[in-house]
Amino acid sequence: MAEEVKETVVVEEAQATETPKEGAKKQFNKRNDKKFQRPVRKPIVKEYEERVVAINRVTKVVKGGKRMKFSALVVIGDGKGKFGFATGKSGEVPDAIKKAVDKAKRNMINVNIVKGGTIAHDTIGKFGASKVFLKPAPEGTGVIAGGPVRAIIELAGIKNVYSKVYGSRTKVNVVKATAQALTQLKEYKTVIALRQGGKEDVK
């Protein structure tokens, strides 16, 4: 009996030493533990992948002297048959890239990609003194291209293709010539309909 009385006294003393504020704090923390947890940040998924092809420093001569700016050539694409390109100019490089990306998003181009991740037929694009030749390749070949041509083809989602650049290698002209070559691609049904005199009931 004496031992039981001692235990009850010890428990009562422990309860007495715990202030009501501490007990309230414990209950408050238990109830609102989830509210104080940091939210898990979800990774930001970009709609289009970006690739900077060229950055040039341009100078404008004015009455007070020279004004220096940066010009950026950017290519964007979703890898599923859509791509775009544009140039942006600003006093800082990041601002120039941002301007080019915004402008490219407003001028997207669709590409017809056939089975095997290649193009339907040979095509040639010309702009200025640059000429770009594209040819379909069998599956497993990869992208046989370099520089600006590779940037457009990969971001457009083409997996297998041959390419060759003739004439001027100016990056802006090569990009525009490649875009022209890709816009000239036609579907199989469209070509057959043209050969048959404009008949649309082609299977």
178 in Cβ contact with 148 (< 8 Å): yes
Tens-digit pLDDT profile for residues 93-118: 999 999 999 999 999 999 988 888 89
The string of pLDDT tens digits covering residues 128-150 is: 999 999 999 999 999 999 889 99
For the chain, what is the mean pLDDT? 82
pTM above 0.75, yes or no: no
Q: Is the dihedral of CA 97, 100, 105, 108 positive or negative?
A: negative
pLDDT at position 191: 72
d(CA 173, CA 107): 17
pLDDT given for residue 146 in this prediction: 85
- SS3 of 89-111: EECCHHHHHHHHHHHHHCCCEEC
CATH number belonging to domain 49-109: 3.30.160.20
pLDDT at 9: 47
Q: What is the pLDDT of residue 194?
A: 78
CA angle centred on 105, ends 68 and 101, rounded to 5°: 30
Instruction: Classify 111-190 by CATH class.
Output: alpha beta
- CA-CA distance, 116 to 138, in Å (whole number)? 7
Query: CA-CA distances (angstroms) from residue 186 to 23, 38, 92, 136?
Result: 76, 52, 40, 13
The structural domains of the chain, with segments of one domain joined by +, span 49-109, 111-190
- Positions in the chain short of pLDDT 70: 1-45, 197-203
pLDDT number for residue 192: 77
Alpha-carbon distance of 137 to 116, in angstroms, equals: 9
